[in-house]
Structure 1
Amino acid sequence: MKRILIVDDSELMCGIIKGALRGLEEDNVIFVATNPLIAIRKANLFKIDLALIDYEMPYMNGILLIDYLKEINPLTKILMVSAYTQPSAQITLEALNRGAVDYILKPSNTEEFNEFKKDLLEKVKYVLFQNGYTSYGLKKKDSTQSTTTKNLALQLYKDKSLLVERVRRSKVIAIGISTGGPPVLEKIFTSLKKDFSIPILVVQHMPPTFTKALAERLSKVSQRQVKEAEDREKVENGVIYIARGGVHLAVEKILGKYYIRLLDNVEKVNSHKPSCDILFSSVAEWYGENATGIIMTGMGCDGANGLLEMKKQGALTIAQSKESCVVFGMPRVAIEKGAVEAVLSVEDIIKILNEV
């Protein structure tokens, strides 16, 4: 049994969220707080496993409330309930940096209520019960393929110089990431050596307004050139490109030079747009063995097939370790498919990149 706290000054939104949470199969205790002061009182009285928090509320905002709840119980997991707007995107990124594990977008109209409830249930299940849930229904298994892949990953990891050399040969690094991603990207980009010159392409599952805010934040904190990718722009050394929300990110090679392509008319892949699979498959086609693919924290299976294509073309493929993931869904599926050569923590990924 889990204790879930809903914090929102809108009684309507509290009712919608509470109704959605009835879809959980487990018996849980659900508390409702219509302002942060009530939330703090309940958090002091009960061990809260998960808090779903709005931002604009009386007495204090959601960011300050995160600090209070984390001080009361550092193990309390937090989901921000965010709007689609640009200011909300900036606030949500700050919340993720302060300890929120993920966010859920508020429905902007009545047609979006069902989708909101579905997304909310899925995220709550992963956050609260991820040891019992795997990527989109995939069952945990210790298959021969999975075991072989893990052994290969451990064996390759022991030869650190081989990893460094293979990254050094890369003309691009492609990163696929989702739940828990922004703080991880911030940590990597702020830790990279100043003269790191290999271009980096990133698909972070986010809606349109959020990816622009993410690029701006990462550029500011890392003091590097981080930008939202634009169609047909040349891929330049030393630049980090963030896929635009709602548009797939791909690359193509023309007359020996690489260019960004944004695919607006292509449908969602694995329920995502942008999709990590699209990016990885494109990199596999145009860069071949001269690339490194990294699949990181996130729910679901997006990226596994594309990463396997990269591996078959001779590219180096890396998965973030389970211990360093917020959600080990995407890396685990990639490992089980045999798409991964090395399993590394975020710290080890940074070390490898900085030795290139």
Structure 2
Amino acid sequence: MKNDCIGDEFMYKVLVVDDSAFMRQLIKSILESTGKFVVTVAQTPLIALDRVRKFKFDVITIDYEMPYMNGVELIKKIKEITDTKILMISAYTRPGAYTTFEALSAGAFDYILKPSSEEELEEFKYELIKKLTAVCEECKKEDTSKVHELPAAVEGKILLEESIVERVRLARVIGIGISTGGPPVLERMFKSLKKDFPIPILVVQHMPPNFTKPFADRLATITSKCIKEVSDKEEIKGGCIYIAKGGYHLAVEEMNGKLFTRVLDLEKIKSHKPSADILFSSIAEACGRASVGIVMTGMGSDGSDGILEMRKKGALTIAQDEKSCVVFGMPKAAIEKGAIELVLNPDQIVELLNRV
């Protein structure tokens, strides 16, 4: 049976659900101007559900504030009908952040912020095209069953070799770089991580400034673990998970034998701030072989240079496998650089960590 992700031979099919005529037309014009997408619109959730029952779409964009039912409720109903990828259109506010995480938990693969200025409109256009193109291309690869040919000896290694577990056990810190599709994956992983896990974890999840604290608060609530948005010059303690602050880079620094966080207001790296490259590079410098680096689902190549530095210092380096990624860009880039020792899915990663 043909994968729902695939449109016709040349164009991807998109359903835009928004009660604002302006936003419907804006998204439609942006996408159709690329020549890659053919767009159908729906001004209410009820019309959207009717469209979904009658037609196959590669991806659906959904606004949160709509009549009859909100965006999260609509996502849940769509997921009962089809596994089509869904992008949430979110408000750039703290309440908007909380609803966005509900949408991601309900099944949206990612989100994009509504523009409120000319400058933000340009960013909106860029992000919209980039995210929809990336997820459609990933789905097309799944449908044709073409798996990337990757360097040998990274996939299929025995997960629970005692020597691998021992290297994790000796780590002073674990760094994770993750982007598109990340929040639900981190939620599941941290829920499954054992309560007394002793090694601190530092996470770069690509997010805007207003979103990282609500994200950390949400993770802390649903996992009952020590999870917080990071502060500058904070001593890194075992058993805690630190989420990088949106709009700033996160680094690790050693002082007097102890590890501390650094929150840095520097230029974007590979269009990202925070950047996984900054985190991984600082871990390589501060901890050397006594560390673990994990690069996970996301577009682009952020993290690939930093995690290569970690591997050169003897750290254990892990990439998420292609099958479980929403977008395989970041892990693929790291693997192709020769930076990765193990390729695992999120459940295997947690299984490894729980052996410590």
1:147 shift after superposition: 2.3
Residue of structure 1 in register with 2:167 after alignment:
166
Q: Retained in 2: the 8 A contact 1:23–1:121?
A: no
Q: Output the CA distance in 2 between the equivalents of 1:17 and 1:153.
A: 40
The two structures have a TM-score, normalised by structure 1, of 0.93
Following superposition, which runs of at least 4 residues in structure 1 exceed 6 angstroms of deviation?
none
User: Do residues 320 (structure 1) and 326 (structure 2) align?
Assistant: no
Q: Show the counterpart of 2:309.
A: 309
**Correspondence for 1:262:** 263
| Deviation string, structure 1 residues 274-293 (Cα, Å, up to 9, x no partner) | 00000000000001111000
SS of alignment partner, residue 259 of structure 2: strand
Aligned partners of 2:279 and 2:15: how far apart in 1?
37
Cα-Cα RMSD:
1.5
Mapping for residues 117-132 of structure 1, pairs under 5 Å: 117-130=125-138
The CA distance in 1 between the partners of 2:168 and 2:180, in whole Å, is: 25
Hey, what's the Cα distance between the residues in 2 that align with 1:186 and 1:226?
A: 11
Residue by residue over 1:266-317, the C-alpha shift from the partner in whole angstroms, topping out at 9 and shown as x without a partner, is 1000100000000000000001111000000111000000000000111100
Q: 1:99 to 1:141 in 2, by over 3 A?
A: closer
> Displacement, 1:141?
7.0
1:59-92 per-residue CA deviation (whole Å, 9 max, x = no partner) reads 110011111211121x211000011100110011
Deviation at 1:159, TM superposition (A): 5.8
Distance 1:23 1:169 in 2: 53
| Counterpart pick for 1:55 among 64, 71, 92 | 64
TM-score, scaled to structure 2: 0.93
Q: Post-superposition shift, 1:48?
A: 2.4
State the distance in 2 between where 1:240 and 1:257 align: 17
Work out whether residues 159 and 352 of structure 2, in 8 Å CA contact, stay in contact via their aligned partners in 1.
no
Q: How far apart, CA to CA, are the structure 2 residues paired with 1:222 and 1:333?
A: 31
Which one of the candidate residues 88, 93, 108 is aligned to 2:101?
93
Question: How far apart are the structure 2 equivalents of 1:223 and 1:57?
Answer: 33
Q: CA deviation at 1:190?
A: 0.7
User: What CA distance in whole angstroms lies between the structure 1 residues aligned with 2:76 and 2:140?
Assistant: 28
The residue aligned with 1:346 is 346
Identity %: 55
Give the secondary structure class of the aligned counterpart of 1:60: coil
Match of 1:8 among 18, 21, 24: 18
Measured after TM superposition, the shift of residue 15 of structure 1 is 1.2
Q: Offset at 1:158?
A: 5.4
What corresponds to 1:44 in structure 2? 53
Alignment: residue pair count:
341
3-state SS, counterpart of residue 40 of structure 1: helix
Pair 1:252 & 2:262 matched = no
Pairing of 1:112-261 with structure 2 (within 5 A): 112-130=120-138, 142=149, 146-148=150-152, 151-155=153-157, 157=158, 160-261=161-262
**Deviation by residue 1:182-236 (Cα, 9 ceiling, x = unmatched):** 1111111111111111000000000011111110010001100100000011001
Partner of 1:24: 34
Unaligned runs of 5+ in 1: 134-139
How far apart, in 2, do the equivalents of 1:231 and 1:115 lie?
A: 28
Deviations 1:114-145 (A, max 9, x none): 22111100000011122669xxxxxx974xxx
